Amino acid sequence: MAQFVTEQSWLRAAFPPVSSFSPASSSVTSPSLASPSLAWALRSRAVAAAALLAFSVLTAQAQAPAALPGQAPSQTTSETPGQLSDQPAAAASGSDDAWLAKTGKLYYSSAKAGLSGFDCAVHPDWRVLFRTASPGTAISDDDAHLALLNSVRINLHAHMQGGSTMDWSAAADPAKPLDDASTQMLTRMRDATEQTLEGFLQFWTPFIDGSVVPDSAAGLTITHSATLHTIHAEQSGVALTEIFSSDLLLEHFDVDMKNVSIKFQPAYAPTDQGLLVKSFQAHVQPAGAAPDQAQDMHVDIAYQTLDGFPIPAHLNMQVANSGTFSFVFDGCTVSRLQQIDPPTVVKPALP
């Protein structure tokens, strides 16, 4: 029987710093199965980090537009002799606010629907991962590592406002304790699975909760043409550009930082509740790296509806030339956002 996982190969799989985006950490040269899965986990976390930075820029710019150096923010819209009028800018901002409101209504928003989070049992297809990570390698039905991984119970606790966690419960048999190689294999696959799932949730959430379309145009550069609409924001070395088609479909979500450029191409499916993101194509280009060292990723999401909320039922995450992570979600429950009732004002009784 071909042994497709060895102790040495698992030990060789290292965790390069996610923030480095260096060509060395972006390429996968080890033939081991751990390396591609960990590489995808790192890439997904890197993409998620960049996306979160970009959304923080979008939010910060929309909430607190910066004044020009040496200039205080204008507080008046009235004209005085020798002073430029703020009315044209205000009119443009109002028009863009109306455009954002119109656009935002087209997209499903888990936040507006009231979804707080969901809990699911997760079932990775380990055979698909191993087969795509090492094409041509024979994997027998009774392979010990495959059987061991299939015995692990995984539960995901997804929180739409951040802080998602994963439980990993490996079956223990006191009569057959695991050897060091198997223990380390489980540890590495636990880390890879956790980083992959949490990374996915981080870059998926803004596209599902509605924040991909900001509420206000303040501090943003919004341009319109006959064929395209763009939203642009920059802050602290991070530049975000969103490009919408003439029919208001988000086609590009580009993040440019000092050491990496990440380009998302989301795709949407129409639903009764609005446009629902169904896939992502991501192109990660580290600064200074040759084009052939870029990383391409494709993510497909199939949904199940639970208590009126669409949540993932099947997740397929593929890194070109590295491998495919495929997950099934079942046994799910959802939680709603708690509504805080306004305080009751009790009027004193009249004397």
> Quick check: 39 pLDDT over 70?
no
Structure confidence at residue 323 (pLDDT) = 84
DSSP strands (E only) in 201-308: 221-224, 228-235, 238-245, 250-256, 260-269, 276-286, 295-306
For all residues of the chain together, what is the average pLDDT? 76
Q: Which of 259, 326, 321, 289 is nearest to 28 (CA)?
A: 321
Cβ neighbour number for residue 27 with a 10 Å cutoff? 17
What percent of the chain is modeled with pLDDT above 90? 40
Domain assignment present for residue 250? The answer is yes
Type and span of the H or E element at 158: strand 153-159
Domain assignment present for residue 83? The answer is no
Domain assignment present for residue 18? The answer is no
DSSP 134: S
- Choose between 44 and 346: higher pLDDT: 346
**Token pair recorded at residue 208:** 């599902």
Determine contact, residues 290/4, Cβ cutoff 8 Å: no
Structure confidence at residue 143 (pLDDT) = 84
Among 37-41, 91-95, 147-151, the range with the most confident prediction by mean pLDDT is: 147-151
Domain assignment present for residue 171? The answer is yes
Domain assignment present for residue 79? The answer is no
Note down the domain range covering 323.
34-63+104-336
List, for residues 274-294, the tens digit of each pLDDT value.
Answer: 999 999 998 888 888 888 888
Q: Nearest 5°: CA angle at 164, between 161 and 170?
A: 170
**Token pair recorded at residue 55:** 């959304």
Domain assignment present for residue 91? The answer is no
Residues 6 or more apart whose CB falls under 8 angstroms from that of 11 comprise 184
Range with lowest mean pLDDT among 66-70, 94-98, 229-233, 280-284: 66-70
**SS3 letters for 68-128?**
CCCCCCCCCCCCCCCCCCCHHHHHHHHHHHHHHHHHHCCECCHHHHCEEEEEEEEEECHHH
Number of domains present in the structure of the chain: 1
Domain assignment present for residue 139? The answer is yes
Task: Say which amino acid occupies 311.
Answer: I
Determine contact, residues 83/74, Cβ cutoff 8 Å: no
Domain assignment present for residue 282? The answer is yes
